[in-house]
Amino acid sequence: MNISREDFDYVSRLVHASSGVLLEPGKEYLVEARLQPLLRKEELDSVASLIARLRASAPNGLHQRVVEAMTTNETSFFRDLHPFEALRKLIVPDLLERRRSQCRLRIWSAACSTGQEPYSMAILLRESFPELHAWSCEIIATDIASQVLDRARSGRYSYHEVSRGLPAAHLVKYFRKQGSDWEIHEEVRRNVQFLAMNLTRPWPPMPKMDLVLMRNVLIYFDLDTKKKIFARLRQQMAPDGYLLLGAAETTLGIDDSFVRVSGDRSGWFRLHKP
Ligand X SMILES: C[S@@+](CC[C@H](N)C(=O)[O-])C[C@H]1O[C@@H](n2cnc3c(N)ncnc32)[C@H](O)[C@@H]1O
CB-nearer residue toward ligand X: 180 or 235: 235
Give dist(CA 52, CA 225) in Å, integer: 29
In 3D, which of 86, 127, 101, 147 has the Cα closest to residue 270? Answer: 86
Complex with ligand X: residue 221 or 258, whichever CB lies closer: 221
Nearer to ligand X, 51 or 148 (CB): 148
Is residue 32 within 8 Å of residue 48, measured between CB atoms? no
- x/- letters, 99..138, toward ligand X (CB under 6 A): ------------xxx---x---------------------
DSSP summary character for residue 88? I
Residue 15 contacts ligand X per CB under 6 A: no
DSSP state letters, 104-139: EEEEEEES-TTTHHHHHHHHHHHHH-GGGGGSEEEE
Q: Does 145 bind ligand X (CB under 6 A)?
A: yes
Instruction: Name which of 95 and 144 has its Cβ closer to ligand X.
Output: 144
In angstroms, what is the minimal distance from the CB of 99 to ligand X? 24
- The number of residues that bind ligand X (CB under 6 A) is 24
* Distance of closest approach, residue 201 Cβ to ligand X, in angstroms: 8
- Binder among 35, 137, 199, 212 for ligand X (CB under 6 A): 199
Is residue 266 near ligand X by the rule CB under 6 A? no
Q: Does 64 bind ligand X (CB under 6 A)?
A: no
248 Cβ contact list (under 8 Å, min separation 6):
216, 219
- Interstrand relation of 181-184 and 156-158 (parallel, antiparallel or unpaired): antiparallel
Q: Is the dihedral of CA 68, 71, 77, 78 positive or negative?
A: negative
Q: Are 188 and 116 in contact (CB under 8 A)?
A: no
Nearer to ligand X, 46 or 85 (CB): 85
The reply to whether 249 sits near ligand X by the rule CB under 6 A is no
244 binds ligand X (CB under 6 A): no
CA distance 160 to 236: 35
The contacts of residue 99 (CB under 8 Å, 6+ apart) are 105, 135, 210
Phi and psi of 199, rounded to 5°?
-65, -20
Pairing relation of β-strands 175-178 and 181-184? antiparallel
To ligand X, the closest distance from the beta carbon of 186 in angstroms equals: 23
The binder of ligand X chosen from 64, 154, 163, 198 (CB under 6 A): 198
Smallest separation, CB 137 to ligand X (Å): 20
Interactions with ligand X, residue window 202-241 (CB under 6 A)? 215-217
Contact call for residue 79 and ligand X (CB under 6 A):
yes
Residue of 200, 247, 254, 257 that binds ligand X (CB under 6 A): 200
Could you tell me if 171 and 162 are in contact, meaning their C-beta atoms sit under 8 angstroms apart?
Answer: yes
Q: How far is the CB of 97 from ligand X (least distance, A)?
A: 27
Report the chain's terminal Cα–Cα distance, integer Å: 54
Residues that bind ligand X (CB under 6 A): 19-21, 71-75, 79, 111-113, 117, 143-145, 148, 198-200, 215-217, 246
